[in-house]
Structure 1
């Protein structure tokens, strides 16, 4: 496993992060989740990402239990705050001082730790003054409950405003967690250049496009039984955008590229995002330990320039690159 610095800080994380969105506490049983965490540790992964909203706090609990007994100093534990949790009351969502202050305590308890390495604003809150949010994060850092602060799916302008306030308050934003893959490149036009300027790294999610870039979905054929495309608990909806025969056919054209490089399709997809020098780590999810080992092998892989060009040519206009899609990801109304 290789490691990279996160943003303009001295904090290093593994190039592959194990994440438990859509899996722990919902799609897979706890013993399977624990087996995947053990596989991640065996593969040299030291960085783990979750969020209080995943499975309505259950994912944090499962991860905390799975990591219990590990040397805390050898782990980097990330979680997030924003989404509705608990009974979803009027203050159970957003980035208000109240919600951040109460949420960090709940996350610490569920993760069975006295500090969070990276505490992230899961989305931008259009209803809370940014000054209030940043002051609350500053207080969380000063109290030692979080060591670093990051955000997720913020636009370039939001990153710039948040970074400036953070500096005024004596801390820094060091990361942004966006969706990024060979098929979804909306951060490249504005978010990545701004992040480089501000000293912010990307912690990217969905590098294999919900599994589509593994090539297991074939045009004109039924989705494999047990795959995300057949999951009625949420996975099917998330992957729907990629399930057209045109996109799936283009992905099939990547198989010779992966074969020539001695990589699986999943490894090619994960290695592709890691070629971007502003990406610090790629988050992988898994329902089986063998998936963890396969994806983790993408660490340290260099894809030659001609292969990168072939990937671009094969995917063509199936690639989504409109920067405005980042702005669309933040809720414009409070979920109750």
Structure 2
């Protein structure tokens, strides 16, 4: 495993992080989930990403039980707050009440005294940014989180949040956007802004919900048990790429992966790690062997010719419009 600083902070994280968004507590039974986490630890992963909303809070609890007994100082645990975790009007968003209550629930489920990074899971248009950042500052100043970050914020939102964080003396160190060779919307605005401010990217879906593994074949039904067949949420995220041209172009990457001595999944993860603003790529898994294989992307350098070949194949179908971050964001508190 290779390690990188998270932005310009002093926190060092594994360049491949383990995440349990759509797998733990929903798709995968707990024993299998624990085996995946053990495989991640055995592979040298020290950075684990979750959120209070994943599997209706169960994912945090699964992760907490699986990591119990590990040396806490050797781990970086990240979680997030924003989406609804209960039926109440204040069980959601980035108001002070929800943030202060949510950090307590996350720490209890994760069985830890603090998280390394506490992240705003989306931007809350219904709450003044000042209130949100002051609440995050109190979480940090009370020792319940060491750093703060955001997920799927626009460049302007990141800049405004960072300015307030500096005033409040809170280390705002990370952005967690979707990023892959098929979804490049952060490159034009978010990445340059974060480079300027010293914020690192911890990217999710580097294999585009499994599409970049090549397992979805043009004209064929999705494999049984794949994310494209997951009616609990996975299928919705895969749908945008289940188009013939996209799937055909992904298959054209096979010779490139073979030339690099990588699987298609490893190639996809290695590709995002070539971006110097990316501090880590988050991988998930439903089986331990998926973890073992995907971590082989750590430390890989892709040469310029190979990157150019990938660009030529995928550019016609890759999404690059920076406006997509704002378009996909909630317009009001859920």
Smaller-chain TM-score range?
over 0.9
Return the alpha-carbon distance in structure 1 between the equivalents of residues 88 and 23 of structure 2.
25
Q: Is the 8 A contact 1:134 1:165 kept in 2?
A: yes
Tell whether 2:60 aligns with 1:63.
no
1:312 aligned residue: 311
> Over residues 94-147 of structure 1, what are the superposed CA-to-partner deviations in whole Å (9 max), with x where a residue is unaligned?
000000000000000000000000000000010100000000011000100000
Tell whether 2:45 aligns with 1:49.
no
Q: Is the 8 A contact 2:124 2:332 kept in 1?
A: no
Return the alpha-carbon distance in structure 2 between the equivalents of residues 121 and 101 of structure 1.
13
Secondary structure, in 3 states, of the residue corresponding to 2:70? coil
1:36 aligned residue: 36
Q: Is the 8 A contact 1:180 1:206 kept in 2?
A: yes
TM-superposed deviation, 1:180: 0.1
2:157 aligned residue: 158
Tell whether 2:244 aligns with 1:250.
no
Q: Is the 8 A contact 1:96 1:132 kept in 2?
A: yes
- Aligned residue runs from structure 1 range 91-110, under 5 A: 91-110=90-109
> Over residues 242-277 of structure 1, what are the superposed CA-to-partner deviations in whole Å (9 max), with x where a residue is unaligned?
001110000000000000010000000000000000
2:140 aligned residue: 141
1:188 aligned residue: 187
TM-superposed deviation, 1:329: 2.8
Q: Is the 8 A contact 2:188 2:322 kept in 1?
A: yes
- Aligned residue runs from structure 1 range 74-85, under 5 A: 74-85=74-85
Structure 1 residue runs of 5 or longer lacking an equivalent are none
Tell whether 2:13 aligns with 1:19.
no
TM-superposed deviation, 1:315: 1.1
Q: Is the 8 A contact 2:246 2:317 kept in 1?
A: yes
Return the alpha-carbon distance in structure 2 between the equivalents of residues 227 and 124 of structure 1.
30
Structure 2 residue runs of 5 or longer lacking an equivalent are none
Return the alpha-carbon distance in structure 2 between the equivalents of residues 56 and 233 of structure 1.
12
TM-superposed deviation, 1:32: 0.4
Return the alpha-carbon distance in structure 1 between the equivalents of residues 5 and 234 of structure 2.
31
TM-score (norm 2): 0.99
1:202 aligned residue: 201
TM-superposed deviation, 1:330: 2.1
Secondary structure, in 3 states, of the residue corresponding to 1:118? strand
> Over residues 268-326 of structure 1, what are the superposed CA-to-partner deviations in whole Å (9 max), with x where a residue is unaligned?
00000000000000000000000001111100000001100100111131000000011
Secondary structure, in 3 states, of the residue corresponding to 2:286? coil
Q: Is the 8 A contact 2:180 2:208 kept in 1?
A: yes
Q: Is the 8 A contact 1:125 1:330 kept in 2?
A: no
TM-superposed deviation, 1:198: 0.5
Return the alpha-carbon distance in structure 2 between the equivalents of residues 178 and 292 of structure 1.
21
Q: Where in structure 1 do 4 or more consecutive aligned residues deviate above 4 Å?
A: none
Tell whether 2:245 aligns with 1:238.
no
Corresponding residue pairs, total: 334
TM-superposed deviation, 1:222: 1.3
Secondary structure, in 3 states, of the residue corresponding to 1:297? helix
Return the alpha-carbon distance in structure 2 between the equivalents of residues 127 and 325 of structure 1.
20
Return the alpha-carbon distance in structure 2 between the equivalents of residues 17 and 195 of structure 1.
20
RMSD: 0.6
Q: Is the 8 A contact 2:125 2:333 kept in 1?
A: no
